[in-house]
Every structure is written in structure tokens, then in C-alpha cells.
Amino acid sequence: MKRADKGAEPASLQTYRLAQPTATWDDLRNDALFGGQKAYKDIRTHTHADQGGVCAYCEIDVGNDDPLKSRIEHFHPKADTSTPMNWALDWPNMLAVCLGGSYRHGTAPHTLEPLASNLSCDAHKDLLIQQGHLLSACEGWVINPLLLPGSPCLFRVDKFTGELYPHGDHCAAVAAWPGNMHADLPALVVHTITVLNLNCPRLCAARLAVVHDIERNKKKMAALKLKPEEGLARLAQRYLQHRWPAFVTTIRSCLGAAAEARMAAM
């Protein structure tokens, strides 16, 4: 998981919210009279562009805005009516996420059998909520990608298993996390990984493919007799050509300081 950036709210969403302040999410998606359908289209376009075309949770590529690969997630439950806030139409509450492995006819790494153990992201989070294992308003229990620092990265990838873990040193360098319901920041990171099932076999296999590709190219750089820092800098430029490649946290783990320097330059 990396920080999800949030750009300016689409004007069409502002217009729709003024016209229909109590509308639900389904109202917006189905409403042609007050421009709801256009607002929905613009929400998808803007969130995908803001996030560089990757899922806000697992970092899988959803860059082409394919409705069979991505959807809009409301981090705070959109049905919450306990406050005057209409969470369904709140722009900062919207994230572009993948389908979490729930689309049976998708291809790997978006889908992998068995589906039950390979659910992730909001699909797995919603399952836990339905089972009563997680509060629907999970702020403080699960990290909101919009609140993550751009650097340092709080997650690291095990290069042998593809699993995500807290980055101990980086977590220690971050000030106390506001509203953290866990004992410390590493515990919050672990719980976030668990709730979103980011270490499901499907995602671990996808990360390992990235790791193996980078390691092969490291050997090629060494064969050219480049200095290690020069080789890593070249690889960082290759793998971080745009905002953002799929599994960018994996790339950061493999390329270290070279990746951080490249990201800062971008």
C-alpha cells in the first residue's frame, strides 16, 4: 500500500451534491436528470488518474478504468447516516480499488482460484464486516491510504515469499498515528494487511513476479560492470517511468534508496 493522492473534486460531483444533497450512491449512479451518471463517470476518471492507475489498497494495475477490474470504494461506510455528513457523496471518502479477486472470469493476477482465499482489498474487508469481525467504520483499525506518508514507506516486501510486513525502522520514524486503535504503528500495519488480505496467494505471486524480474535485471547491471549505485539508479528509472507502476511498494523494497530518489524526483 502506498499513499493515495487526491486531486480536486470533479465539478460535476459538486453540482450533483448541491442539487441532490441527500442522494445515495445508487441514486447518483442511476440519475441522468441531475447529472449523476456524468458525475459517476468523472469520479472514476479522476480517482484513477489521481492514484496513477493502481488500486489504493493492493497496488494492482487498474489504469484503464475497466469496470470489470475496478470500482469506487468508500473508506467510511457510505450508508452511515449517524451524522449530517453524506458519506456517499463525500469526495475525500472515495478511492479507486480493484475488484479484490471477486470477479470469477477475470485473469491472474486480478483473479485466482480458489476465490475465497484470494479475496482482497475492499472485497475482503466487506466480508469481515458482514461476519462481524470488523466495524464498518474502521478508521483507526485499518490504514486509510489517503493518510499514508509518501515517504518513508511503512511496508516492506519479503523477497522470498512476496508477503508484506511492517517496515520496522520506517514505522519507528513516524510520529504517533492519529486515532490508532492498536498498541503501536507496526500493529496497525499488520492489521491492515490482514483485514485487506494483502498476503493472499494471488497477490504474493504477483509481487514475486516483480521481485524476480528486478533481480534478473540487477544481475544484468552487474554483468555490465556498473557500480552498484549506478545500476540501481538505471533500474529505478526503468521501473518508475510513470505514476505509478503496479506493485510500486515491491519496487521500492527491491531498489531501496535508488527508488526513493527517483520517486522524489518525480
C-alpha atoms less than 13 angstroms from C-alpha of 130 in its C-beta half-sphere: 6
Q: What is the predicted pLDDT for the residue at 220? A: 95
Q: pLDDT, tens digit, for every residue of 21-42?
A: 999 999 999 998 999 999 999 9
**Helix residue ranges per DSSP H, 80-184:** 121-130, 168-173
80 CB-contact burial (10 Å; exposed 0-12 / middle 13-18 / buried 19+): middle
41 CB neighbour count, 10 Å cutoff: 14
Q: What is the predicted pLDDT for the residue at 107? A: 85
More confident residue, 138 or 82: 138
C-alpha dihedral over 86, 98, 165, 263, to 10 degrees? -90
Task: Decide if pLDDT at 57 tops 90.
Answer: yes
- What is the enclosing helix (H) or strand (E) of 155? strand 155-157
The whole-model pTM stands at: 0.94
Who contacts 219 (Cβ-Cβ below 8 Å, separation ≥6)? none
Q: What is the predicted pLDDT for the residue at 191? A: 98
